[in-house]
Amino acid sequence: MGCLSSKPVEGTVSVPRPPLRAVPPPPKVDKGIKLGEYVCCAERQIFDAKVKEVGDNALTVETADGDLKLKKTYLGDGKVVSFKGPRVNVEDLHKGKEVEFKFKEDDADLSRGQIDGQTNSEVCLRQINDNSASKSQSWIPREDIRFLYVMVFSASSLKNTDIGVNNKSDPYVVVHLRKSGGKPNASTDDLGGEGHDYHMTHYVNNDLNPTWNMDFKFLSLHDVEAVVFTVWDKDINLFKSDDFLGRAELTKDTWEARKDEVLELPLLDMEKKPMFGETDAKESKLKVRVKICGPRN
Ligand SMILES: [Ca+2]
Ligand SMILES: [Ca+2]
């Protein structure tokens, strides 16, 4: 024990001694955030991000665009959930909404049901059968609902349809599902019609290479043939409609084969010919990712 009680030698710098039985403190891992889990931080427009490292104040997450260091405070206020894969939010599941789900773990096919009620972890579904005589009702985990998860990241080399110094297109994207019986070349004319769920990004001012980083969930997958993206220039003018900047379509076969990939889709005009940015003469492209989520993936 002699060395432990020795005084610092005069004229030298005193170095703090390690504790007698030095036990390394356990690594601090937040109860709500574990390695390999996904976090969603909608306010910061980060989503579907897999946790790679948990520090005291920050996380490193793996996103579709690469690794990102994220302050834990960005996940605060209880508005952000830590979850295993993207999930369907409570507000998406209003009563009567039609969804697809796996009724039994070993079932090959998905069932269709209507929301009848919900808690934070489970939903109550009334099964829709072709044979309307049987109407069974059951509670299933929220994660068992199957949905189409569409991420719209960015576009590049868009056409400029605005006039004036420093005035450029103000692009936004409309995402809709083409269902069987829908018009293959429909743009937004048929939006809102029966069987035509759609979502829109916000618009970005004066930018031919805009970033949106937004994600959307489609719950009614029955009869879906394709996801259709149309890009528009927002014009604040009551007397004209917004300018068309291109269209891209992802068929079911494509997203099933390339479900985990970030895809750069060429934007086509109404005649299905490529569109080009006038300033850089490159093809207009849209960066997206589409995947089916759930049950239990
Ligand atoms: Ca315009
Ligand atoms: Ca503009």
Across the beta sheet with 38-41, the strand order is: 66-71, 58-63, 46-54, 38-41, 82-83
> Residue 264's pLDDT is what?
94
Instruction: Determine the average pLDDT of the residues in 229-255.
Output: 91
Comparison of pLDDT for 72 and 287, the residue scoring more: 287
Instruction: Determine the average pLDDT of the residues in 162-174.
Output: 93
DSSP code for 181: T
> Residue 133's pLDDT is what?
52
**Centre of ligand 2 from the C-alpha of residue 185, in Å:** 27
Instruction: Determine the average pLDDT of the residues in 33-40.
Output: 73
**Centre of ligand 1 from the C-alpha of residue 7, in Å:** 79
Region 148-293: CATH code: 2.60.40.150
HSE at residue 144, side-chain half, CA atoms within 13 A, is 21
Residue 144 scores a pLDDT above 90: no
Q: Of 151, 167, 173, 183, whose CA–CA distance to 242 is shortest? A: 173
Q: pLDDT digit string (tens) for 172-202?
A: 999 998 887 665 554 444 444 444 578 999 9
DSSP code for 276: B
Residues with CB under 5 A from ligand 2 (ion): 162, 167, 170, 206
**Centre of ligand 1 from the C-alpha of residue 277, in Å:** 14
Q: Is the entire prediction scored with pTM above 0.75?
A: no
Ligand nearest to the CA of 235: 1
**Distance separating alpha carbons of residues 36 and 56, to the nearest angstrom:** 17
Q: Of 217, 40, 291, 76, whose CA–CA distance to 51 is shortest? A: 40
Residues with CB under 5 A from ligand 1 (ion): 161-162, 233, 235, 243
Instruction: Determine the average pLDDT of the residues in 270-294.
Output: 90
Residue 239 scores a pLDDT above 90: no
Q: Of 88, 104, 131, 116, whose CA–CA distance to 220 is shortest? A: 88
**Centre of ligand 2 from the C-alpha of residue 22, in Å:** 63
Comparison of pLDDT for 115 and 41, the residue scoring more: 115
Ligand nearest to the CA of 162: 1
Q: pLDDT digit string (tens) for 61-89?
A: 887 678 888 877 766 544 445 555 667 77
**Centre of ligand 2 from the C-alpha of residue 215, in Å:** 24
Q: 199: exposed, middle or buried (C-beta count within 10 Å: 0-12, 13-18, 19+)?
A: middle
Residues 6+ apart with CB under 8 A from 236: none
Task: Look at the block and give the residue holding tokens 């068992």.
Answer: 144
> Residue 296's pLDDT is what?
57
**Centre of ligand 2 from the C-alpha of residue 161, in Å:** 8
Angle at 258 between CA 176 and CA 147, to 5 degrees: 45
Mean pLDDT taken over the chain: 78
> Residue 11's pLDDT is what?
56
Q: Of 154, 182, 167, whose CA–CA distance to 251 is shortest? A: 182
Share of the chain above pLDDT 70, in %: 69
**Centre of ligand 1 from the C-alpha of residue 138, in Å:** 50
**Centre of ligand 2 from the C-alpha of residue 242, in Å:** 11
